[in-house]
């Protein structure tokens, strides 16, 4: 038997380990390429939708453009986190793929197998023992931070890319160095930007270290730096990284941080350890080691204290890698340091903070440090004990790790083993939708935004009927593009002129504005399957079936309490932006429109009043359907109520549909600026909190 044939079965061990762990934690159903039932919510849904639109779109250059999924708001496939690496691989075969096809289950299997493979290679730097290598690799495979990402951020499950980078930085030889790093960096660039930042930093630390040690000449180092930089830039360009214009950087650095207690805070991933309190964004910094690794770390600490492990010498030879890991730790902790629920803030220059917001989910950047810690723990156990003792300790730790983290991955498996389905349920079942798809080439949302309320319904409808859409959910969207789209939307709503090739699905605010200006001779404005639809030119289309216009007024039941802390279609005119508590009137007049049942006898409206020591009252005159209902005044800011009886005179004005127009005349409205209370120029009087029909 040749050496090659002897090694072949051995190389199957990590592959088998990864496959078995996948079947245990995820289950086999996700491997069915026509099964998308498990992708029907949250981030996973946009991962699939991005790929589904991309596969059916013509090729572009750069290759990763995905204009059908987002229209003017859209960008490269990288921003729907649809894994461009696999999207580029499968798109050429689109004609031979089934109508419903997903590769994300295959990706998760690859993540498990490659995680095991590179962990096997890493532990192999420490020992030739097959059992110790396999047990050590198992601790890397049962990684809670990796499993957590498999619950939603599927591309970020590729933690094997980090292990591969650590292996290349720690291996003693330089064989095929540029090829290995080039393939790794290119692949990572086509998976996710966060992973690319981590892998690139490890590469730069390793490159600088090899140059300083003169294992690479200055010329060789510069060639590698320039060549691989150009390679990564090209891959990023093709994936669509540069497809988004300016103004894409959002805030959040300091919120989505690493909590100091993250390594030992199970956050629901342990039956044994209790969860610790943490900040609202600390879930992004979830880096729980697992009970098995924590127990093993105690044994590793004992071995380290006994000395002769060689750890200090090993670290000394990789100082730049150590500094890179320290830098990632500091970045992950952010300038809003969290220790449990305690917070310590230190100042950062504004330019640095803006730069840091590029990777605002800073807690993720700790992952290389997480795996370095696991590697050091395994290193100390192997070097500080006899092989049999080390194997026993690793075996016990792995069993504990698997069993105790089941508290977290059992739910993951349940969500991934849902009954298979090749489509998602939809509420858009009216025959109108099929007719509209034959008449329009685009379906748009008003008002345009990232992740509108009905984005999944909208994009699913567009995908089914081969339409383009801006009703999408993307990881990054240009602020300037959104501003332009909003300006255009406001102009359309004000003028009543809409693009003839687009069907519009309106939110509550847009629906109210559209109802005032829509051309009812030509355009259809109605509610279908619970969605407010505006179909330009529908009534003049000879092939379009007739649909009646429907009033968009809110119907309020007896005893129902309508709140105004969110967009509410009852707010007709004279109201400002919605705030957490409600909304202020703006101007001297305001109006609320609603429909009530015949048995209604009164309205009760809870309000605030804009009164100040220098402006002690707000007079309020209320009429309903043109009939005077109440005249009063408020002298306090909070705890005000308008009780409006529906008198006989008012009820006589109410038609069969029960429509009420509640009008407020506010003669004492005034702006904070006019009172010397800052620069706010809104002319305010009444703060609307809730309305109840009695």
What pLDDT, on the 0 to 100 scale, is given for residue 262?
96
Q: Under a CB-based contact definition with an 8 Å cutoff, are residues 666 and 620 in contact? A: yes
Instruction: Report percent pLDDT > 70 for the chain.
Output: 97
The pLDDT of residue 94 is above 90? yes
pLDDT band at 681 (very low <50, low <70, confident <90, very high): confident
Q: What is the mean pLDDT of the chain?
A: 91
HSE (CB half, 13 Å, CA atoms) of 464?
A: 17
What pLDDT, on the 0 to 100 scale, is given for residue 485?
92
Contacts of 683 (CB under 8 A, 6+ apart): 586, 587, 588, 669, 670, 671
pTM: 0.84
The pLDDT of residue 2 is above 50? no
What pLDDT, on the 0 to 100 scale, is given for residue 8?
62
The pLDDT of residue 257 is above 50? yes
What pLDDT, on the 0 to 100 scale, is given for residue 551?
67
H or E element, residue 593: strand 589-595
Residue 205 CA, chain-centre distance (Å), reads 30
**CA–CA separation, 273 and 9 (whole Å):** 39
What pLDDT, on the 0 to 100 scale, is given for residue 571?
82
What pLDDT, on the 0 to 100 scale, is given for residue 3?
44
The pLDDT of residue 28 is above 50? yes
Start-to-end CA distance of the chain, whole Å, equals 90
At 207, list the tokens: 């490159």
What pLDDT, on the 0 to 100 scale, is given for residue 601?
87
Section 89-113 average pLDDT: 97
The pLDDT of residue 608 is above 70? yes
The pLDDT of residue 554 is above 80? no
Section 109-133 average pLDDT: 97
- Residue 552: CB atoms within 10 A of its CB come to 17
At 292, list the tokens: 């098995």
At 547, list the tokens: 């649909």
163 vs 516: which has the higher pLDDT: 163
**3-state SS, residue 309:** coil
**CA–CA separation, 488 and 486 (whole Å):** 5
pLDDT band at 246 (very low <50, low <70, confident <90, very high): low
Which residue shows structure tokens 């599927």?
A: 154
Contacts of 650 (CB under 8 A, 6+ apart): 624, 625, 627, 629
Q: Is 451 left (phi over 0), alpha (psi -120 to 50) or beta?
A: left
Section 325-341 average pLDDT: 94
As to burial, measured by CB atoms within 10 angstroms (0-12 exposed, 13-18 middle, 19+ buried), residue 208 is middle
At 502, list the tokens: 């687009």
Section 418-431 average pLDDT: 93
pLDDT band at 248 (very low <50, low <70, confident <90, very high): low
Instruction: Report percent pLDDT > 90 for the chain.
Output: 69
**3-state SS, residue 589:** strand
The pLDDT of residue 569 is above 80? no
Beta strand pairing call for 640-645 and 618-624: unpaired
**3-state SS, residue 352:** helix
Burial 212-247 (b: 16+ CB within 10 A, else e): eeeebeeebbeebeeebeebbeebbbbbbbebbeee
**CA–CA separation, 575 and 586 (whole Å):** 5
**3-state SS, residue 527:** strand
pLDDT band at 6 (very low <50, low <70, confident <90, very high): low
Q: Which domains does the chain have, with CATH numbers?
A: 3-416 (no CATH), 431-551 (no CATH), 555-693 (2.60.120.260)
Span 461-495, pLDDT tens digits: 999 999 999 999 998 888 888 999 999 999 999 99
Span 277-320, pLDDT tens digits: 998 889 999 999 999 999 999 999 999 998 888 898 999 999 99
What pLDDT, on the 0 to 100 scale, is given for residue 1?
39
The mean-pLDDT minimum among 250-254, 282-286, 407-411 falls in 250-254
- Residue 598: CB atoms within 10 A of its CB come to 8
């Amino acid at each position: 038997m040749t050496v090659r044939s002897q090694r072949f079965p051995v190389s199957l061990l990590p592959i088998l380990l990864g496959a078995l762990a996948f079947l245990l934690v995820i289950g086999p159903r996700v491997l069915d390429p026509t099964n998308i039932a498990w992708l029907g919510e949250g981030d996973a849904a946009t991962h699939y939708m991005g790929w589904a639109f991309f596969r059916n779109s013509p090729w572009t250059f750069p290759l990763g453009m995905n204009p059908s999924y987002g229209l003017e708001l859209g960008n490269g496939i990288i921003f729907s986190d649809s894994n461009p690496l696999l999207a580029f691989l499968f798109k050429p075969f689109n004609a031979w793929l089934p109508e419903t096809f997903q590769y994300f289950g295959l990706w998760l299997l690859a993540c498990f197998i490659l995680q095991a493979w590179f962990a096997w290679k890493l532990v192999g730097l420490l020992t030739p023992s097959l059992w110790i290598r396999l047990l050590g690799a198992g601790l890397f495979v049962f990684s809670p931070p990796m499993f957590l990402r498999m619950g939603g951020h599927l591309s970020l499950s590729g933690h094997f890319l980090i292990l591969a980078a650590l292996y290349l930085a720690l291996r003693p030889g330089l064989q095929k160095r540029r090829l290995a790093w080039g393939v790794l960096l290119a692949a990572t660039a086509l998976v996710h930007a966060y992973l690319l930042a981590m892998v690139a930093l490890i590469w730069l630390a390793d490159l600088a270290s090899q140059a300083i040690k003169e294992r690479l000449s200055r010329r060789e180092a510069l060639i590698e730096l320039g060549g691989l930089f150009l390679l990564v830039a090209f891959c990023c360009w093709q994936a669509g990284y540069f497809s988004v214009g300016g103004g894409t950087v959002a805030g959040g650095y300091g919120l989505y941080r690493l909590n100091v207690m993250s390594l030992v805070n199970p956050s629901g991933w342990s039956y044994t350890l209790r969860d610790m309190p943490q900040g609202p964004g600390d879930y992004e910094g979830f880096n729980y080691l697992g009970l098995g690794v924590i127990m093993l770390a105690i044994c590793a600490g004992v071995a380290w204290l006994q000395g002769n492990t060689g750890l200090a010498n090993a670290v000394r030879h990789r100082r730049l890698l150590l500094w890179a890991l320290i830098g990632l730790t500091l970045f992950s902790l952010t300038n809003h340091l969290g220790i449990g629920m305690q917070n310590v803030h230190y100042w950062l220059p504004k330019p640095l903070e803006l730069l840091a917001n590029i990777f605002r989910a800073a807690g993720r950047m700790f992952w290389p440090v997480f795996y370095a810690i696991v590697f050091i723990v395994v290193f100390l156990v192997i070097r500080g004990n006899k092989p049999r003792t080390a194997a026993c300790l690793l075996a016990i730790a792995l069993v504990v790790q698997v069993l105790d983290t089941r508290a977290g991955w059992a739910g993951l498996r349940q969500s991934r083993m849902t009954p298979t389905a090749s489509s998602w349920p939809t509420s858009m079942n009216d025959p109108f939708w099929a007719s509209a798809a034959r008449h329009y080439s685009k379906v748009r949302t008003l008002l345009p935004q990232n992740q509108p309320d009905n984005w999944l319904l909208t994009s699913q409808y567009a995908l089914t009927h081969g339409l383009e859409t801006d009703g999408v959910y993307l990881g990054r969207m240009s602020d300037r593009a959104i501003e332009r789209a909003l300006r255009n939307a406001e102009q359309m709503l004000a003028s009543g002129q809409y693009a003839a090739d687009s069907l519009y699905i309106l939110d509550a605010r847009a629906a109210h504005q559209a109802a005032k200006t829509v051309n009812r001779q030509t355009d259809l404005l109605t509610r279908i399957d619970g969605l407010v639809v505006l179909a330009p030119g529908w009534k003049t289309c000879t092939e379009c079936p007739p649909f009646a216009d429907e009033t968009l007024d809110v119907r309020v039941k007896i005893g129902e309490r309508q709140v105004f802390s969110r967009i509410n279609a009852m707010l007709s005119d004279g109201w400002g932006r919605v705030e957490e508590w409600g909304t202020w009137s703006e101007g001297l007049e305001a109006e609320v429109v609603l429909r009530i049942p015949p048995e209604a006898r009164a309205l009760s409206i809870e309000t605030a009043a804009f009164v100040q020591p220098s402006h002690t009252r707000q007079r309020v005159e209320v009429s309903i359907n043109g009939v005077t209902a109440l005249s009063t005044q408020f002298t306090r800011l909070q705890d005000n109520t308008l009780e409006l009886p529906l008198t006989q005179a008012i009820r006589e004005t109410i038609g069969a549909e029960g429509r009420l127009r509640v009008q407020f005349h506010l003669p004492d409205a005034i702006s904070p600026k006019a009172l010397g209370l800052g620069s706010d120029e809104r002319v305010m009087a009444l703060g609307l909190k809730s309305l109840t029909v009695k």
